[in-house]
Amino acid sequence: MSLKDQITEDMKTAMRAKDSERLATIRLLLAAMKQKEVDERVELDDVAVVAIVDKLIKQRKDSIAAFEQANRQDLADKEKSEMAVLQTYLPERMSAEETLAAVKAIVAELGASGPGDMGKVMGVVKTRLAGKADMGQVSGAVKTALAGG
């Protein structure tokens, strides 16, 4: 079963269970997926769905930080619960050590050195580690690897 089908099934389950918070989050995700399909006239595969989930989680993290800074814990808690639902659709992530090892292997393979090669390395890393690693972590690992660390 594809990830897209799994999300649709989870929506039906949340409807039957009258789990309104989970249902609202899943509908938000499905709307984002549908928007991408309509905008780009494509059928989303699992990799594209994971990218959308990643984007929505990043938005939640940014919102949580803003709400906590503004002392709006009620809104921050709502965002945290949405983020928890979204994270169930992400595949198992690589650890920081695994990410750094994979990045170092790619840097060695490309023969890259110095910060000037960051763009070249990130292009390859993004395609190989998409959905498997946190891209914020990947960026730090690339900087470390190019600095000779």
Q: What is the pLDDT of residues 4-62, one digit of tens each?
A: 999 999 999 999 999 999 999 999 999 999 999 999 999 988 888 888 998 999 999 99
pLDDT band at 143 (very low <50, low <70, confident <90, very high): confident
Output the six-digit token pair for 110.
């490309």
Q: 114: which DSSP letter?
A: S
CATH level 2 (architecture), domain 3-87: Orthogonal Bundle (1.10)
How many Cα atoms sit within 13 Å of 93 on the Cβ side?
16
Domain residue spans of the chain: 3-87, 96-146
104 vs 75, higher pLDDT? 75
Q: What is the pLDDT of residues 87-140, one digit of tens each?
A: 999 888 777 788 888 888 887 777 767 677 777 777 777 777 776 777 777 778
pLDDT band at 149 (very low <50, low <70, confident <90, very high): low
**Class of domain 96-146 as given by CATH:** mainly alpha
